[in-house]
Amino acid sequence: MLENVKQKKTKKSDVQQTIEALRCELSELENVIKERKLPVIITFDGWSCSGKGSQIAKLIKYLDPRFFRVVSFRAPSASEKRKPWMTRYWEALPKKGELLFLDRSWYRDTVNAYMLGEIDKHQCKQRIADIKTFERQLTDDGCLIIKFFLHITKSEQEERLEKLADSSITSWRVEKSDSFNHDHYDKYLKHYDKMISETNTANAVWHIIPANDKTTAQLTVLDTVVNAIKCACAAAEKNAPYYEKSELPLSDNIPQKFKTESTQKLAEIDMDKSIDDETYEKQLKKWQDKLFELQNICYQKKIPVIVAYEGWDAGGKGGNIKRLASALDPRGYEVHPIAAPEPSELARHYLWRFWTRLENDGHFTIFDRTWYGRVMVEPIEKITPQKRADMAYQEINEFEKQLSDWGAVIVKFWINIDKDEQYRRFKERENTPSKRWKITDEDWRNREKWDEYEKAVDRMIEKTSTEFAPWTVIEGNDKKYARIKALKTIAKSISKKLEEQAK
C-alpha cells in the first residue's frame, strides 16, 4: 500500500493562494466547530522525520490557540505503564467544540511497541481491536477523527536524519527511536501497511500523505482537514453520522459480541437473608483480614482491583464501602464518589471521567456510583435520549473488557433493598440530625420512579453481566449481611484471579 504512494512535487508559488484560501476557510470553520460543539481529533502518524510536527505547526497557524491543543506522545512513562494502555489517549480527549492535534497517536505507539518487542503478536492484535473500539466509541459520540499517515521514502528519510544530526541546533532532536525506525524501514513498512489496512474504517478513515515534498504534504493535509470538517458539520446538522469516503479498501468495525451470563430479576431475589451480630463480627474480621492479605499480594503482583457500587438510594453503599476501605492499607486504594458531572466532564464522552479516575495497577479503585448512571438515571431523567443510552450496554462491556485485559479484577455490586425498607431508612435519616445531609428531595422524587428504575436495573444486569465483569446482587435489607457478602465476593474474585495466574 505505502509502496504505491506517488510522491509529488508542488511548486510553492503555484499553490500559495490556494493554501491561503484554505487556511482562511479553516479559521472560519473553527467558529462552526465551536457552535456545533463538534469535538475534532486530528492524528499525525508516520515515519520518523516525516514532518509531523511541522505539518501540525502549519495547520494551526491560523487557529485560535485557546480552542485547540497539541499533544505529543512519546514512549509511555513508567507511571503511564501502570494504567491501561489507552488511558493517556482518553485523558487527552478534547472538549466538544475544540480540536486536538496529536503528534503520534495510539498507532505509532502500537507499532513501536511491537517492533521493540514490548508486545507480542497477540497483544498487538488486541491493541488494534482496542483502537477500533476506541475510535468507534468516539465517533458514535459525535467526534470527528481525521487520521494522517505521513509517508516518506527510505532515501528521503536518510537525507533528513543526516541533516538533523549535522546541525548543532537540531542534533538533540534526533532520538534513538528515529534511527531505529530508519534502520528497520522495510519491516516497519510492512507493519504500517498492515495497521492501516486493518484500521481504515468508515467512521475513521486513513489519509496517506506523500510527504517527501513539504508543500505537497501541506496542501493535501489542509485540503483534507477543511473538507472533512465541512462534511462532518453538515452531517451533524442533519443529525446523521459522518462517514468519510476512502480510496483505500475499507475494513469493518463491527462491535465484538459479549456473552452474558444468565441473571435473576430483582423481583426474584430472596430479600429475607440476614446474619446475627455474633456471626457478623466474626465474619467481618475474617474477610477483612483476608482482604488485607490479598491487597498486599495484588500490590506486589500489580493486579488492579476495580469495585463498582450501585444500588438503591439508602441501600447502604456508604457503610459497605467503609467496611471494605477500613480493611485495606489506605495507601493502596481510592474511593471515587460519582456525583453529577462537572462542566468539563459534560463536555466529553461520558466514559472520560471514569477512564481518568483509574488508579495504578496494584491498587483498588472503588466507585461509589459508576458509569452505569448512563443506563439508569440518564435516560430516566431525560438527560440522555433512550436510544443513545441503549448503546451504552455495548460500550460499557467494551470498557470493562479493556479493564479486564489490563489484568483487573472487576467486581460490580447492585445493593438491593425493597421499597418498604427504603421508606424506613429515608424516615430514619430525616429524624436523625447527623444523617439528615444524606436525604434530599431528589431521593423522594427518585423513589416515585421505583418501577421505572427497577426495569432499568434488570435490563442493565442482564446486558452487562459478563464473565470478566459479572454483577453481584446483594440482598441489602440486612446491612450486616450485605457487608459480609460484599467483602467475601471481592476476596473470592481476587483469589480466583490469583489461581488463574498461577496456572
430 binds its own copies (CB under 8 A): no
DSSP-derived letter for residue 204 is: B
Distances (CA, A) of 133 to 41, 79, 119, 299, 396: 16, 24, 19, 29, 11
Give whole-number Cα distances, 80 to 89, 105, 111, 160, 167, in Å: 11, 15, 18, 31, 33
Closest distance between its own copies and the C-beta of residue 200, in Å? 27
Measure the CA–CA gap between 85 and 74, rounded to whole angstroms: 13
53 binds its own copies (CB under 8 A): yes
If phi over 0 gives left and psi between -120 and 50 gives alpha, with beta otherwise, what is residue 168?
alpha
- 361 makes contact with its own copies (CB under 8 A): no
* CA–CA dist 482, 3 (Å, integer): 63
Nearest distance in Å: CB 47, its own copies:
18
Task: Out of 168, 169, 259, 502, point to the residue binding its own copies (CB under 8 A).
Answer: 169
User: Does the protein bind its own copies through residue 168 (CB under 8 A)?
Assistant: no
- Of residues 97 through 116, those in contact with its own copies by CB under 8 A are 101, 103
User: What one-letter code names the amino acid at 85?
Assistant: W
Contact 128/135 with Cβ under 8 angstroms?
no
Which one of 16, 31, 155, 440 is in contact with its own copies (CB under 8 A)? Answer: 31
Q: Which stretch, 146-154, 325-333, 372-380, 419-427, contacts its own copies (CB under 8 A)? A: 325-333
Cα separation, 297 vs 289, whole angstroms = 13
Residue type at position 191:
H
Q: Which of 155, 179, 256, 344 binds its own copies (CB under 8 A)?
A: 344
Sheet holding 99-103, edge to edge: 68-72, 99-103, 40-46, 144-151, 206-210
Determine which residue in the list 16, 18, 20, 35 makes contact with its own copies, applying CB under 8 A: 35
Report the residue from 5, 25, 34, 380 that binds its own copies according to the rule CB under 8 A: 34
- The site map against its own copies for 121-160 (x = CB under 8 A) is ----------------------------------------
Q: How far is the CB of 302 from its own copies (least distance, A)?
A: 13
Instruction: Give 65 or 117: the residue with its C-beta nearer to its own copies.
Output: 65
Which residue in 196, 273, 302, 225 sits closest to 27, CA to CA? 225
The residue behind cell 441489602 is 476
Q: Judged by CB under 8 A, does residue 385 bind its own copies?
A: no
CB nearer to its own copies: pick between 203 and 288: 288
Residue 22 found at the interface with its own copies (CB under 8 A) = no
In the complex, minimum distance from the CB of residue 85 to its own copies, in angstroms, rounded to a whole number: 18
Contacting its own copies (CB under 8 A), which of 329, 428, 430, 442? Answer: 329
Under the binding rule (CB under 8 A), the answer on residue 347 touching its own copies is: no
What string of H, E and C letters represents the secondary structure of 324-366?
Answer: HHCCCCHHHEEEEECCCCCHHHHCCCCCHHHHCCCCCCCCEEE
- Provide the minimum distance between the beta carbon of 325 and its own copies in the complex, in angstroms, as a whole number: 4
Of 180-209, which residues contact its own copies (CB under 8 A)?
Answer: none
Of 23 and 191, CB closest to its own copies: 23
Nearer to its own copies, 97 or 210 (CB): 97
Q: Which stretch, 9-17, 229-237, 248-256, 333-341, contacts its own copies (CB under 8 A)?
A: 333-341
Of the CA atoms within 13 Å of residue 257, those in its CB half-sphere come to 2
Minimum separation from the CB atom of position 45 to its own copies (A): 15
How far apart (Å, rounded) are the C-alpha atoms in residues 392 and 328? 32
> How many whole angstroms separate alpha carbon 408 and alpha carbon 405?
7
Scanning 188-196, 243-251, 315-323, 404-412 for contacts with its own copies by CB under 8 A, the matching segment is 315-323
Q: Residues 3, 252, 270, 342: which binds its own copies (CB under 8 A)? A: 342
Q: Quote the Cα angle for 459-465-470, to 5°.
A: 140
User: Whose grid coordinates read 429475607?
Assistant: 272
**44, three cell numbers:** 499525525
d(CA 40, CA 29) in angstroms, rounded, equals 12
Q: Which is nearer to its own copies, 288 or 397 (CB)?
A: 288
- 55-94 mask for its own copies (x: CB under 8 A)? -xx--xxxxxxx--xx-x----xxx---------------
Q: Does residue number 337 form part of the binding site for its own copies (CB under 8 A)?
A: yes
The alpha helices in 151-266, defined as continuous H runs, are 154-166, 176-183, 185-198, 214-237
Long-range contacts from 459-463, C-beta under 8 angstroms, 24+ separation: 459/375, 460/372, 460/375, 460/376, 460/393, 461/263, 461/414, 462/260, 462/263, 463/260, 463/393, 463/397
Size of the site for its own copies (CB under 8 A): 44
Q: Please report whether residue 214 would count as binding its own copies according to CB under 8 A.
A: no
Scanning 158-166, 220-228, 322-330, 467-475 for contacts with its own copies by CB under 8 A, the matching segment is 322-330
Q: Where on the chain is the footprint of its own copies (CB under 8 A)?
A: 28, 31, 34-35, 53, 56-57, 60-66, 69-70, 72, 77-79, 101, 103, 169, 172, 296, 300, 318, 321-322, 325-326, 329-331, 334-335, 337, 342-344, 366, 368, 434, 437
